[in-house]
Structure 1
Protein backbone atom coordinates (compact mmCIF):
# COMPACT_ATOMS: atom_id res chain seq x y z
CA UNK A 1 0.00 0.00 0.00
CA UNK A 2 2.88 2.37 0.79
CA UNK A 3 4.52 1.74 -2.57
CA UNK A 4 1.18 2.21 -4.32
CA UNK A 5 0.69 5.54 -2.54
CA UNK A 6 4.14 6.69 -3.64
CA UNK A 7 3.41 5.63 -7.20
CA UNK A 8 0.17 7.62 -7.15
CA UNK A 9 1.96 10.75 -5.86
CA UNK A 10 4.74 10.31 -8.41
CA UNK A 11 2.21 9.83 -11.20
CA UNK A 12 0.30 12.99 -10.24
CA UNK A 13 3.53 15.00 -10.00
CA UNK A 14 4.70 13.75 -13.38
CA UNK A 15 1.30 14.47 -14.92
CA UNK A 16 1.38 18.04 -13.59
CA UNK A 17 4.90 18.70 -14.88
CA UNK A 18 4.22 17.33 -18.38
CA UNK A 19 0.87 19.15 -18.58
CA UNK A 20 2.53 22.48 -17.67
CA UNK A 21 5.27 21.88 -20.27
CA UNK A 22 2.66 21.21 -22.95
CA UNK A 23 0.60 24.30 -22.10
CA UNK A 24 3.76 26.46 -22.00
CA UNK A 25 4.75 25.03 -25.39
CA UNK A 26 1.35 25.97 -26.84
CA UNK A 27 1.79 29.58 -25.66
CA UNK A 28 5.34 29.65 -27.04
CA UNK A 29 4.26 28.17 -30.40
CA UNK A 30 1.40 30.68 -30.78
CA UNK A 31 3.81 33.57 -30.17
CA UNK A 32 6.45 32.18 -32.54
CA UNK A 33 3.84 31.51 -35.23
CA UNK A 34 3.47 35.26 -35.83
CA UNK A 35 7.27 35.66 -36.02
CA UNK A 36 8.04 32.73 -38.32
CA UNK A 37 8.28 32.97 -42.13
CA UNK A 38 5.77 31.35 -44.49
CA UNK A 39 8.49 29.52 -46.43
CA UNK A 40 12.01 28.34 -45.73
CA UNK A 41 14.65 31.06 -46.01
CA UNK A 42 17.63 28.74 -46.00
CA UNK A 43 18.67 29.45 -42.43
CA UNK A 44 19.71 26.19 -40.76
CA UNK A 45 17.34 25.08 -38.02
CA UNK A 46 14.74 27.76 -38.80
CA UNK A 47 11.10 26.80 -38.34
CA UNK A 48 8.23 27.94 -40.56
CA UNK A 49 4.64 28.77 -39.68
CA UNK A 50 3.55 25.23 -40.59
CA UNK A 51 6.02 23.86 -38.02
CA UNK A 52 4.44 25.93 -35.26
CA UNK A 53 0.94 24.95 -36.38
CA UNK A 54 2.02 21.33 -35.96
CA UNK A 55 3.49 22.12 -32.54
CA UNK A 56 0.26 23.78 -31.40
CA UNK A 57 -1.79 20.85 -32.73
CA UNK A 58 0.37 18.19 -31.09
CA UNK A 59 0.69 19.96 -27.73
CA UNK A 60 -3.04 20.66 -27.59
CA UNK A 61 -3.77 17.02 -28.38
CA UNK A 62 -1.30 15.91 -25.70
CA UNK A 63 -2.72 18.29 -23.08
CA UNK A 64 -6.17 16.79 -23.67
CA UNK A 65 -5.37 13.09 -23.86
CA UNK A 66 -3.00 13.16 -20.87
CA UNK A 67 -6.11 12.95 -18.66
CA UNK A 68 -7.65 10.11 -20.71
CA UNK A 69 -6.69 7.27 -18.30
CA UNK A 70 -8.33 9.11 -15.37
CA UNK A 71 -11.50 9.69 -17.36
CA UNK A 72 -11.61 6.04 -18.43
CA UNK A 73 -11.20 4.96 -14.81
CA UNK A 74 -13.98 7.26 -13.62
CA UNK A 75 -16.40 6.48 -16.45
CA UNK A 76 -16.00 2.69 -16.57
CA UNK A 77 -15.13 2.26 -12.90
CA UNK A 78 -11.97 0.29 -13.64
CA UNK A 79 -8.52 0.54 -12.12
CA UNK A 80 -5.65 1.17 -14.53
CA UNK A 81 -2.32 0.28 -12.83
CA UNK A 82 -0.25 3.33 -11.87
CA UNK A 83 2.74 1.89 -13.73
CA UNK A 84 0.76 1.84 -16.99
CA UNK A 85 -0.36 5.45 -16.46
CA UNK A 86 3.21 6.56 -15.70
CA UNK A 87 4.48 4.89 -18.87
CA UNK A 88 1.68 6.59 -20.80
CA UNK A 89 2.62 10.05 -19.45
CA UNK A 90 6.32 9.45 -20.18
CA UNK A 91 5.42 8.44 -23.72
CA UNK A 92 3.52 11.72 -24.26
CA UNK A 93 6.54 13.62 -22.92
CA UNK A 94 8.94 11.80 -25.24
CA UNK A 95 6.71 11.95 -28.32
CA UNK A 96 5.29 15.46 -28.07
CA UNK A 97 7.52 17.62 -25.90
CA UNK A 98 10.92 16.15 -26.79
CA UNK A 99 9.91 14.93 -30.25
CA UNK A 100 7.98 17.94 -31.55
CA UNK A 101 8.87 20.89 -29.32
CA UNK A 102 12.56 20.03 -28.82
CA UNK A 103 12.82 18.71 -32.38
CA UNK A 104 14.16 15.25 -31.46
CA UNK A 105 12.48 13.75 -34.55
CA UNK A 106 15.04 15.52 -36.75
CA UNK A 107 17.96 15.56 -34.28
CA UNK A 108 17.81 11.78 -33.77
CA UNK A 109 16.92 9.83 -36.95
CA UNK A 110 15.55 6.78 -35.11
CA UNK A 111 13.53 8.70 -32.52
CA UNK A 112 10.23 8.15 -34.35
CA UNK A 113 10.85 4.42 -34.82
CA UNK A 114 11.70 3.91 -31.13
CA UNK A 115 8.52 5.71 -30.05
CA UNK A 116 6.34 3.75 -32.46
CA UNK A 117 7.78 0.47 -31.17
CA UNK A 118 7.20 1.65 -27.60
CA UNK A 119 3.64 2.85 -28.28
CA UNK A 120 2.73 -0.32 -30.19
CA UNK A 121 3.77 -2.43 -27.22
CA UNK A 122 1.78 -0.19 -24.89
CA UNK A 123 -1.31 -0.44 -27.13
CA UNK A 124 -0.92 -4.20 -27.26
CA UNK A 125 -1.05 -4.24 -23.46
CA UNK A 126 -4.15 -2.02 -23.59
CA UNK A 127 -5.73 -4.58 -25.94
CA UNK A 128 -5.25 -7.29 -23.30
CA UNK A 129 -6.71 -4.96 -20.67
CA UNK A 130 -9.79 -4.33 -22.83
CA UNK A 131 -10.45 -8.05 -23.17
CA UNK A 132 -9.94 -8.49 -19.43
CA UNK A 133 -12.46 -5.72 -18.80
CA UNK A 134 -15.02 -7.19 -21.21
CA UNK A 135 -14.70 -10.71 -19.83
CA UNK A 136 -15.14 -9.28 -16.35
CA UNK A 137 -18.67 -8.18 -17.17
CA UNK A 138 -20.89 -10.87 -15.71
CA UNK A 139 -23.68 -10.50 -18.27
CA UNK A 140 -21.36 -11.41 -21.16
CA UNK A 141 -20.02 -14.57 -19.49
CA UNK A 142 -17.13 -14.77 -21.95
CA UNK A 143 -14.27 -17.25 -21.77
CA UNK A 144 -11.87 -16.66 -24.63
CA UNK A 145 -8.86 -18.67 -25.75
CA UNK A 146 -5.34 -17.20 -25.34
CA UNK A 147 -4.98 -17.24 -29.13
CA UNK A 148 -8.09 -15.16 -29.72
CA UNK A 149 -7.24 -12.68 -26.95
CA UNK A 150 -3.73 -12.24 -28.37
CA UNK A 151 -5.08 -11.82 -31.90
CA UNK A 152 -7.49 -9.12 -30.69
CA UNK A 153 -4.70 -7.30 -28.84
CA UNK A 154 -2.51 -7.38 -31.97
CA UNK A 155 -5.31 -6.09 -34.21
CA UNK A 156 -6.20 -3.37 -31.71
CA UNK A 157 -2.60 -2.12 -31.51
CA UNK A 158 -2.02 -2.22 -35.27
CA UNK A 159 -5.38 -0.56 -36.03
CA UNK A 160 -4.53 2.22 -33.57
CA UNK A 161 -1.29 2.75 -35.48
CA UNK A 162 -3.19 2.95 -38.78
CA UNK A 163 -5.65 5.48 -37.33
CA UNK A 164 -2.68 7.59 -36.17
CA UNK A 165 -1.19 7.56 -39.68
CA UNK A 166 -4.57 8.64 -41.12
CA UNK A 167 -4.61 11.48 -38.60
CA UNK A 168 -1.11 12.53 -39.69
CA UNK A 169 -2.05 12.38 -43.38
CA UNK A 170 -5.19 14.49 -42.86
CA UNK A 171 -3.34 17.04 -40.72
CA UNK A 172 -0.63 17.40 -43.38
CA UNK A 173 -3.24 17.90 -46.10
CA UNK A 174 -5.56 20.28 -44.24
CA UNK A 175 -3.12 22.28 -42.12
CA UNK A 176 -0.01 22.05 -44.30
CA UNK A 177 2.04 20.38 -41.57
CA UNK A 178 4.83 17.81 -41.99
CA UNK A 179 3.81 15.04 -39.62
CA UNK A 180 4.59 12.32 -42.14
CA UNK A 181 8.03 13.84 -42.73
CA UNK A 182 7.65 14.08 -46.52
CA UNK A 183 9.68 17.30 -46.35
CA UNK A 184 13.26 17.15 -45.08
CA UNK A 185 14.65 19.48 -42.43
CA UNK A 186 16.38 21.39 -45.25
CA UNK A 187 13.01 21.99 -46.97
CA UNK A 188 13.36 19.40 -49.76
CA UNK A 189 10.07 17.70 -50.70
CA UNK A 190 10.45 13.94 -51.09
CA UNK A 191 8.83 12.07 -53.97
CA UNK A 192 7.95 8.48 -54.85
CA UNK A 193 8.96 5.72 -52.46
CA UNK A 194 10.87 8.12 -50.20
CA UNK A 195 7.71 10.18 -49.62
CA UNK A 196 5.87 7.21 -48.05
CA UNK A 197 8.90 5.71 -46.31
CA UNK A 198 8.13 7.34 -42.94
CA UNK A 199 4.54 6.08 -42.93
CA UNK A 200 5.42 2.54 -43.95
CA UNK A 201 8.33 2.29 -41.51
CA UNK A 202 6.01 3.47 -38.73
CA UNK A 203 3.44 0.78 -39.58
CA UNK A 204 6.10 -1.95 -39.79
CA UNK A 205 7.53 -0.92 -36.41
CA UNK A 206 3.97 -0.81 -34.99
CA UNK A 207 3.46 -4.39 -36.15
CA UNK A 208 6.76 -5.60 -34.65
CA UNK A 209 6.23 -3.81 -31.32
CA UNK A 210 2.69 -5.09 -30.87
CA UNK A 211 3.70 -8.60 -31.99
CA UNK A 212 6.38 -8.79 -29.29
CA UNK A 213 3.96 -7.86 -26.50
CA UNK A 214 1.25 -10.11 -27.93
CA UNK A 215 3.58 -13.13 -27.98
CA UNK A 216 4.55 -12.48 -24.36
CA UNK A 217 0.88 -12.11 -23.45
CA UNK A 218 -0.07 -15.25 -25.37
CA UNK A 219 2.41 -17.51 -23.58
CA UNK A 220 1.46 -15.96 -20.23
CA UNK A 221 -2.26 -16.63 -20.81
CA UNK A 222 -1.56 -20.11 -22.15
CA UNK A 223 0.46 -20.98 -19.07
CA UNK A 224 -2.25 -19.51 -16.85
CA UNK A 225 -4.90 -21.63 -18.62
CA UNK A 226 -2.81 -24.79 -18.16
CA UNK A 227 -2.51 -24.07 -14.42
CA UNK A 228 -6.30 -23.53 -14.22
CA UNK A 229 -6.87 -26.82 -16.04
CA UNK A 230 -4.61 -28.67 -13.62
CA UNK A 231 -6.55 -27.27 -10.68
CA UNK A 232 -9.93 -27.88 -12.32
CA UNK A 233 -9.83 -30.73 -14.92
CA UNK A 234 -13.45 -29.98 -15.93
CA UNK A 235 -12.33 -26.88 -17.80
CA UNK A 236 -11.53 -27.37 -21.46
CA UNK A 237 -8.26 -26.00 -22.80
CA UNK A 238 -9.38 -24.25 -25.95
CA UNK A 239 -6.99 -22.85 -28.51
Structure 2
Protein backbone atom coordinates (compact mmCIF):
# COMPACT_ATOMS: atom_id res chain seq x y z
CA UNK A 1 0.00 0.00 0.00
CA UNK A 2 1.49 3.34 -1.05
CA UNK A 3 2.22 5.84 1.66
CA UNK A 4 0.51 9.21 1.46
CA UNK A 5 2.84 12.17 1.21
CA UNK A 6 2.36 14.87 3.91
CA UNK A 7 1.94 17.56 1.22
CA UNK A 8 -0.71 15.49 -0.52
CA UNK A 9 -2.48 14.94 2.77
CA UNK A 10 -2.58 18.66 3.56
CA UNK A 11 -3.79 19.46 0.05
CA UNK A 12 -6.61 16.94 0.33
CA UNK A 13 -7.51 18.22 3.78
CA UNK A 14 -7.67 21.75 2.39
CA UNK A 15 -9.84 20.52 -0.49
CA UNK A 16 -12.16 18.70 1.91
CA UNK A 17 -12.49 21.84 4.01
CA UNK A 18 -13.77 23.80 1.02
CA UNK A 19 -16.70 21.38 0.69
CA UNK A 20 -18.20 23.05 3.77
CA UNK A 21 -19.02 26.59 2.68
CA UNK A 22 -19.54 28.19 6.09
CA UNK A 23 -16.46 26.56 7.58
CA UNK A 24 -14.45 27.40 4.46
CA UNK A 25 -15.48 31.07 4.63
CA UNK A 26 -14.32 31.35 8.25
CA UNK A 27 -11.16 29.41 7.46
CA UNK A 28 -10.24 31.62 4.48
CA UNK A 29 -10.89 34.81 6.45
CA UNK A 30 -8.79 33.66 9.42
CA UNK A 31 -6.02 32.36 7.18
CA UNK A 32 -5.88 35.70 5.36
CA UNK A 33 -5.71 37.54 8.70
CA UNK A 34 -2.89 35.30 9.92
CA UNK A 35 -0.92 35.79 6.69
CA UNK A 36 -1.26 39.59 7.01
CA UNK A 37 0.00 39.42 10.60
CA UNK A 38 2.83 37.08 9.57
CA UNK A 39 4.04 39.46 6.85
CA UNK A 40 3.94 42.39 9.27
CA UNK A 41 5.88 40.42 11.89
CA UNK A 42 8.46 39.39 9.28
CA UNK A 43 9.18 43.00 8.28
CA UNK A 44 9.34 43.95 11.97
CA UNK A 45 11.97 41.27 12.52
CA UNK A 46 9.82 39.29 14.99
CA UNK A 47 10.71 35.87 13.59
CA UNK A 48 9.41 34.05 16.66
CA UNK A 49 5.96 35.47 15.89
CA UNK A 50 6.39 34.48 12.23
CA UNK A 51 6.87 30.88 13.37
CA UNK A 52 3.80 31.21 15.59
CA UNK A 53 1.78 32.34 12.57
CA UNK A 54 3.00 29.36 10.53
CA UNK A 55 2.07 27.04 13.38
CA UNK A 56 -1.39 28.63 13.49
CA UNK A 57 -1.92 27.99 9.78
CA UNK A 58 -1.08 24.31 10.30
CA UNK A 59 -3.34 24.06 13.36
CA UNK A 60 -6.25 25.42 11.31
CA UNK A 61 -6.12 22.22 9.25
CA UNK A 62 -6.25 19.90 12.27
CA UNK A 63 -10.06 19.46 12.37
CA UNK A 64 -10.16 18.41 8.71
CA UNK A 65 -7.13 16.16 9.13
CA UNK A 66 -8.84 14.50 12.10
CA UNK A 67 -11.98 14.00 10.01
CA UNK A 68 -10.02 12.21 7.31
CA UNK A 69 -7.91 10.15 9.69
CA UNK A 70 -10.78 8.94 11.91
CA UNK A 71 -13.41 8.81 9.15
CA UNK A 72 -15.81 11.06 11.03
CA UNK A 73 -17.82 14.19 10.25
CA UNK A 74 -17.20 17.15 12.54
CA UNK A 75 -20.16 19.53 12.95
CA UNK A 76 -19.60 22.94 11.38
CA UNK A 77 -20.09 24.71 14.71
CA UNK A 78 -17.36 22.64 16.37
CA UNK A 79 -14.90 23.24 13.52
CA UNK A 80 -15.52 26.99 13.50
CA UNK A 81 -15.15 27.31 17.27
CA UNK A 82 -11.90 25.33 17.21
CA UNK A 83 -10.45 27.63 14.53
CA UNK A 84 -11.61 30.75 16.37
CA UNK A 85 -10.11 29.35 19.57
CA UNK A 86 -6.74 28.81 17.88
CA UNK A 87 -6.81 32.32 16.39
CA UNK A 88 -7.84 33.90 19.70
CA UNK A 89 -5.14 32.06 21.64
CA UNK A 90 -2.17 32.33 19.27
CA UNK A 91 -2.68 35.48 17.20
CA UNK A 92 -4.78 37.70 19.46
CA UNK A 93 -3.55 36.34 22.78
CA UNK A 94 0.17 35.92 22.13
CA UNK A 95 1.06 38.24 19.24
CA UNK A 96 -1.47 41.02 19.89
CA UNK A 97 -0.99 40.71 23.69
CA UNK A 98 -4.68 40.30 24.50
CA UNK A 99 -3.69 38.22 27.54
CA UNK A 100 -2.25 41.31 29.22
CA UNK A 101 -4.47 43.95 27.58
CA UNK A 102 -7.74 42.25 28.53
CA UNK A 103 -7.57 40.49 31.93
CA UNK A 104 -10.56 38.26 31.15
CA UNK A 105 -9.16 36.96 27.84
CA UNK A 106 -7.25 34.06 29.38
CA UNK A 107 -10.22 33.17 31.60
CA UNK A 108 -12.58 33.09 28.62
CA UNK A 109 -10.28 30.82 26.62
CA UNK A 110 -9.73 28.40 29.50
CA UNK A 111 -13.50 28.17 30.04
CA UNK A 112 -14.01 27.46 26.35
CA UNK A 113 -11.16 24.95 26.47
CA UNK A 114 -12.91 23.06 29.26
CA UNK A 115 -16.12 23.02 27.24
CA UNK A 116 -14.45 21.88 24.00
CA UNK A 117 -12.30 19.20 25.65
CA UNK A 118 -15.37 17.79 27.38
CA UNK A 119 -17.09 17.71 23.97
CA UNK A 120 -14.14 15.87 22.45
CA UNK A 121 -13.92 13.40 25.33
CA UNK A 122 -17.65 12.78 25.19
CA UNK A 123 -17.51 12.27 21.42
CA UNK A 124 -14.74 9.68 21.69
CA UNK A 125 -16.71 7.64 24.21
CA UNK A 126 -19.94 8.08 22.25
CA UNK A 127 -18.30 6.76 19.07
CA UNK A 128 -16.92 3.74 20.92
CA UNK A 129 -20.30 3.19 22.53
CA UNK A 130 -22.00 3.09 19.12
CA UNK A 131 -19.31 1.10 17.31
CA UNK A 132 -20.24 -2.54 16.73
CA UNK A 133 -16.59 -3.62 16.99
CA UNK A 134 -16.52 -2.73 20.69
CA UNK A 135 -18.68 -4.42 23.31
CA UNK A 136 -19.43 -1.21 25.18
CA UNK A 137 -22.79 -0.10 26.50
CA UNK A 138 -22.10 2.84 28.76
CA UNK A 139 -24.77 4.73 30.63
CA UNK A 140 -25.29 8.48 30.02
CA UNK A 141 -24.02 9.21 33.54
CA UNK A 142 -20.79 7.31 32.98
CA UNK A 143 -20.25 9.00 29.61
CA UNK A 144 -20.72 12.43 31.20
CA UNK A 145 -18.21 11.54 33.94
CA UNK A 146 -15.65 10.37 31.37
CA UNK A 147 -16.12 13.59 29.38
CA UNK A 148 -15.60 15.66 32.52
CA UNK A 149 -12.48 13.71 33.56
CA UNK A 150 -11.04 13.94 30.04
CA UNK A 151 -11.47 17.71 30.01
CA UNK A 152 -9.93 18.18 33.46
CA UNK A 153 -7.00 15.93 32.55
CA UNK A 154 -6.25 18.06 29.49
CA UNK A 155 -6.51 21.17 31.67
CA UNK A 156 -4.04 19.77 34.23
CA UNK A 157 -1.60 18.64 31.52
CA UNK A 158 -1.69 22.15 30.06
CA UNK A 159 -0.84 23.66 33.44
CA UNK A 160 2.08 21.20 33.69
CA UNK A 161 3.23 22.48 30.30
CA UNK A 162 2.95 26.12 31.40
CA UNK A 163 4.91 25.39 34.58
CA UNK A 164 7.66 23.62 32.60
CA UNK A 165 7.94 26.55 30.18
CA UNK A 166 8.23 28.96 33.11
CA UNK A 167 10.87 26.90 34.90
CA UNK A 168 13.07 26.12 31.90
CA UNK A 169 12.54 29.12 29.62
CA UNK A 170 11.24 31.83 32.01
CA UNK A 171 8.25 32.60 29.75
CA UNK A 172 5.86 33.56 32.57
CA UNK A 173 2.98 31.55 31.07
CA UNK A 174 1.52 31.17 34.56
CA UNK A 175 0.76 34.85 34.96
CA UNK A 176 1.63 36.53 38.27
CA UNK A 177 -0.92 38.36 40.39
CA UNK A 178 -0.57 41.12 42.98
CA UNK A 179 -1.86 40.25 46.46
CA UNK A 180 -1.95 42.29 49.66
CA UNK A 181 -1.88 39.42 52.16
CA UNK A 182 0.50 36.48 52.42
CA UNK A 183 0.58 33.54 54.82
CA UNK A 184 3.62 31.25 55.03
CA UNK A 185 5.13 28.79 57.52
CA UNK A 186 8.57 29.68 56.10
CA UNK A 187 8.33 32.99 57.99
CA UNK A 188 7.83 31.22 61.34
CA UNK A 189 10.89 32.18 63.46
CA UNK A 190 10.59 28.91 65.41
CA UNK A 191 10.76 26.92 62.16
CA UNK A 192 7.52 25.24 63.12
CA UNK A 193 4.35 24.69 61.15
CA UNK A 194 2.61 27.89 62.19
CA UNK A 195 1.81 30.23 59.29
CA UNK A 196 2.89 33.84 59.74
CA UNK A 197 0.42 36.28 58.22
CA UNK A 198 1.44 39.65 56.79
CA UNK A 199 -1.41 41.97 55.85
CA UNK A 200 -1.81 45.31 54.07
CA UNK A 201 1.24 44.85 51.84
CA UNK A 202 1.72 47.93 49.63
CA UNK A 203 5.12 47.22 48.08
CA UNK A 204 7.93 44.67 47.86
CA UNK A 205 11.65 45.39 47.61
CA UNK A 206 13.81 42.86 45.75
CA UNK A 207 17.54 42.73 46.47
CA UNK A 208 19.50 41.59 43.40
CA UNK A 209 23.24 42.03 42.82
CA UNK A 210 23.51 44.18 45.93
CA UNK A 211 20.88 46.58 44.60
CA UNK A 212 17.47 47.19 46.17
CA UNK A 213 14.69 47.28 43.58
CA UNK A 214 11.19 48.36 44.69
CA UNK A 215 8.66 46.63 42.46
CA UNK A 216 6.05 49.36 42.87
CA UNK A 217 3.12 47.06 42.11
CA UNK A 218 1.01 48.02 45.10
CA UNK A 219 1.38 44.64 46.79
CA UNK A 220 3.19 41.32 46.90
CA UNK A 221 3.96 39.58 43.58
CA UNK A 222 2.35 36.14 43.57
CA UNK A 223 4.27 33.59 41.47
CA UNK A 224 1.40 32.14 39.42
CA UNK A 225 -0.42 29.71 41.71
CA UNK A 226 -3.57 31.83 41.74
CA UNK A 227 -3.55 31.99 37.94
CA UNK A 228 -3.23 28.20 37.78
CA UNK A 229 -6.11 27.63 40.19
CA UNK A 230 -8.28 30.16 38.33
CA UNK A 231 -7.56 28.42 35.02
CA UNK A 232 -8.47 25.02 36.45
CA UNK A 233 -11.61 26.45 38.07
CA UNK A 234 -12.97 27.90 34.82
CA UNK A 235 -11.93 24.73 32.97
CA UNK A 236 -14.04 22.89 35.56
CA UNK A 237 -17.02 25.12 34.78
CA UNK A 238 -16.73 24.53 31.03
CA UNK A 239 -16.35 20.78 31.54
CA UNK A 240 -19.38 20.56 33.84
CA UNK A 241 -21.57 22.54 31.43
CA UNK A 242 -20.87 20.26 28.48
CA UNK A 243 -21.04 17.10 30.60
CA UNK A 244 -24.63 17.98 31.48
CA UNK A 245 -25.38 18.78 27.83
CA UNK A 246 -23.89 15.45 26.75
CA UNK A 247 -25.82 13.57 29.41
CA UNK A 248 -29.18 14.84 28.17
CA UNK A 249 -28.06 14.33 24.56
CA UNK A 250 -27.57 10.60 25.19
CA UNK A 251 -30.75 10.35 27.26
CA UNK A 252 -32.73 11.68 24.30
CA UNK A 253 -30.47 9.73 21.88
CA UNK A 254 -29.38 12.54 19.63
CA UNK A 255 -32.47 14.74 19.69
CA UNK A 256 -30.73 17.67 21.35
CA UNK A 257 -30.08 20.26 18.65
CA UNK A 258 -27.50 22.19 20.65
CA UNK A 259 -25.40 19.16 21.58
CA UNK A 260 -25.44 17.89 17.99
CA UNK A 261 -23.45 20.96 17.00
CA UNK A 262 -20.47 19.69 19.02
CA UNK A 263 -20.61 15.90 18.66
CA UNK A 264 -18.96 14.28 15.60
CA UNK A 265 -20.74 11.53 13.70
CA UNK A 266 -19.13 8.34 12.40
CA UNK A 267 -19.49 8.12 8.63
CA UNK A 268 -21.57 5.12 7.58
CA UNK A 269 -20.11 4.90 4.08
CA UNK A 270 -16.51 5.90 4.70
CA UNK A 271 -15.47 5.93 1.10
CA UNK A 272 -18.30 7.93 -0.41
CA UNK A 273 -19.24 10.35 2.35
CA UNK A 274 -15.81 11.75 3.13
CA UNK A 275 -15.41 15.22 1.54
CA UNK A 276 -12.51 15.48 -0.83
CA UNK A 277 -11.98 11.70 -0.99
CA UNK A 278 -10.96 10.38 -4.40
Q: TM-score, length-normalised on structure 2? A: 0.62
Higher Rg of the two aligned structures: 2
Partner residue in 2 for 1:165: 159
Tell me whether 1:11 sits opposite 2:23 in the alignment.
yes
Cα distance in 2, alignment partners of residues 169 and 57 from structure 1: 22
Partner residue in 1 for 2:249: 220
Partner residue in 2 for 1:125: 119
Which structure 1 residue ranges, 4+ long, deviate > 6 Å from structure 2? none
Q: Which has the higher strand share?
A: 2
Give the CA deviation at 1:194. 4.8
Number of residues of Structure 1 aligned to a counterpart in Structure 2 = 201
Cα distance change of structure 1 residues 11 and 223 upon mapping to structure 2, 3 Å threshold: closer
Deviates more, 1:190-199 or 1:154-163: 190-199
Cα distance in 2, alignment partners of residues 11 and 121 from structure 1: 20
Q: Which has the higher contact order (CA 8 A, sep 6+)?
A: 2
Partner residue in 1 for 2:232: 203
Deviates more, 1:161-170 or 1:83-92: 161-170
Cα distance in 1, alignment partners of residues 49 and 156 from structure 2: 21
Partner residue in 2 for 1:112: 106
Give the CA deviation at 1:104. 1.5
Unpaired stretches in structure 1, ≥5 consecutive residues: 34-51, 226-239
Unpaired stretches in structure 2, ≥5 consecutive residues: 1-16, 179-214, 255-278
Give the CA deviation at 1:22. 3.1
Give the CA deviation at 1:201. 0.7
Q: CA RMSD in A?
A: 3.2
Tell me whether 1:175 sits opposite 2:187 in the alignment.
no
Cα distance change of structure 1 residues 57 and 207 upon mapping to structure 2, 3 Å threshold: farther
Q: Which has the higher helix share?
A: 1
Cα distance change of structure 1 residues 220 and 193 upon mapping to structure 2, 3 Å threshold: same
* Cα displacement string for residues 158-184 of structure 1 (whole angstroms, at most 9, x for unaligned residues): 111122222222233333323222389
Q: TM-score, length-normalised on structure 1? A: 0.71
